[in-house]
Chain A
Amino acid sequence: MILYTVLPLEDVYDGLEEEIPPTTHVVRNGVLMEVEMCGDFEAKVVRVISSNPNDYLAADNQPGSILRMP
């Protein structure tokens, strides 16, 4: 991987050693998503896994949005 950026590399990689929170997969509205659990009832979308491009435009599926778990 090659970075082409004006930021010094130490800034880009700052916090690299910090642990990445574990993720899990859920299906929401028929869309498979990788999520990070925030407590028992909420999950934050990390990534959408779908071959339907419209799933990536859907407002609820944007990375960072919070899903309420049933």
Chain B
Amino acid sequence: MEQDEKPREETEMETIKELGQTELPTAAEEGTPFHCLTIIGQIEGHMVLPPRNKTTKYEHVIPQLVAIEQNPKIKGLLVILNTVGGDIEAGLAIAEMLKTMRTPVVSLVLGGGHSIGAPIAVAADHSIISETATMTIHPIRLSGLVIGVPQTYEYLDKMQERVIRFIVRHSRVGTEVLRELMFRTGELVRDVGTVLVGEEAVNVGLIDEVGGVSTALQRLSELVAKRSSGDDQ
């Protein structure tokens, strides 16, 4: 019995157990023209994180996005976020990929879309947050690096700046408001920053609307309809 091929369900369970990710179907099946990409745990960047972390591996996600973009059967992409943040370069790489895709993208923040999750959420054509989901807007903190020279601080500031610029460019939130949220003191115990819960993220203009999976799929269908009526195909 041990030699037998494992049933599909069992392998799927193993994938979830090992990486917290489910596998994506090869091609869109009949009736399900949308793909779903989950951004979970830490977004892993240039360093392999210890196995205790659940990670989203950008080097795997990026070619998947290329495949989705190229496949005419895949009409839209639903990005589900439940992330605690992660590597700034990897996060921005995924965000830029989503932003520049021709395939309509809708993002849904469930649970949490913290730190570098924010630019990924706003990178979609339409962003949705569930009622109870939270997003933490805070400055980049770094305890592993000793700030010995002013240049180090300036470098960090520059990194911060590109996150702010990306969010501002792709959402309704203004630079001033975002900075205010980011450097607000007193709300977080450990540091400065703001926790936005559901509707608050919509009110500041970071996310487009409050909703759930049905809202997300409906918006995706609308975007697909709009795009195909605008194009020749």
Contacts and interface: CB of A to CB of B under 8 A. Distances in A.
Contacts of A58: 26
Contacts of B24: 57, 59, 62
B50 A2 contact: no
A65 B23 contact: yes
A7 B91 CA distance: 15
A65 B87 contact: no
Contacts of A4: 85-88, 91, 115-116, 140, 159, 163
Interface stretch (B39-47, B169-177, B201-209, B213-221): B39-47
B96 interface: no
A14 B42 CA distance: 13
B63 interface: yes
Top 3 nearest A-B pairs (CB, nearest first) are: A5-B85, A64-B18, A53-B67
B84 A44 contact: no
A44 B49 CA distance: 17
Interface string A30-59: 000000000000001001101001111111
B21 A62 contact: yes
A6 B85 contact: yes
28 contacts: A1-B89, A2-B87, A3-B142, A4-B87, A4-B91, A4-B140, A4-B163, A6-B115, A6-B136, A9-B142, A14-B50, A14-B52, A15-B51, A15-B52, A47-B57, A48-B60, A57-B64, A57-B68, A59-B23, A59-B26, A62-B15, A62-B19, A62-B21, A64-B14, A64-B15, A65-B15, A66-B6, A68-B5
A13 B51 CA distance: 10
A16 B88 contact: no
Given A50-B63, A57-B24, 14 more contacts: A1-B45, A3-B87, A4-B88, A6-B85, A6-B136, A20-B48, A53-B63, A55-B63, A56-B64, A57-B68, A59-B24, A59-B26, A63-B60, A64-B17
B53 interface: yes
B15 A56 contact: no
Contacts of B66: 53
A11 B64 CA distance: 29
**Contact-size category for B:** 35 or more
B126 interface: no
Contacts of B138: 6
Contacts of B6: 66
B147 interface: no
Given A12-B53, A64-B21, A2 B85 contact: no
B23 A5 contact: no
B11 A65 contact: yes
A5 B114 contact: yes
B50 A57 contact: no
Nearest to A61: B23
